[in-house]
Amino acid sequence: MEDYKTHIRPWLGAFALLLIGFMMIYQPHAFDTVEPEGRKAIFKMIFKFIWGIPAGIIFLILGGFAVNTQIQRIRARGKEDGQVNQ
């Protein structure tokens, strides 16, 4: 379970941010026809308000930063183990 929390889950979060960023840029008007009513209406209203190209760019930047952080952690672990990473 420790391996999941430290190695797998951070990558899943980073790729989820990248995926939603690409979706926001590829389909900027996907939530235009959604009516915020019924169950989970608050989430529908939030997505309808923020969905689009500017938010997609922000999500891509956050996802790229998360991937970069994971790569830096892997390099730091390699240096601690005495390995030389280039």
Please return the burial class of 67, using the count of CB atoms within 10 Å of its CB with bins 0-12, 13-18 and 19+. middle
**Residue 81 predicted with pLDDT over 80:** no
Give the burial string for 32-59 (b: 16+ CB within 10 Å, else e): eeeeeeeeeeeebeebbeebbeebbeeb
What confidence score (pLDDT) does residue 3 get? 74
Put simply, whether the predicted model's pTM sits higher than 0.85 gets the answer no
User: What is the tens place of the pLDDT at every residue in 20-37?
Assistant: 999 999 988 887 887 888
Residue type, 68: N
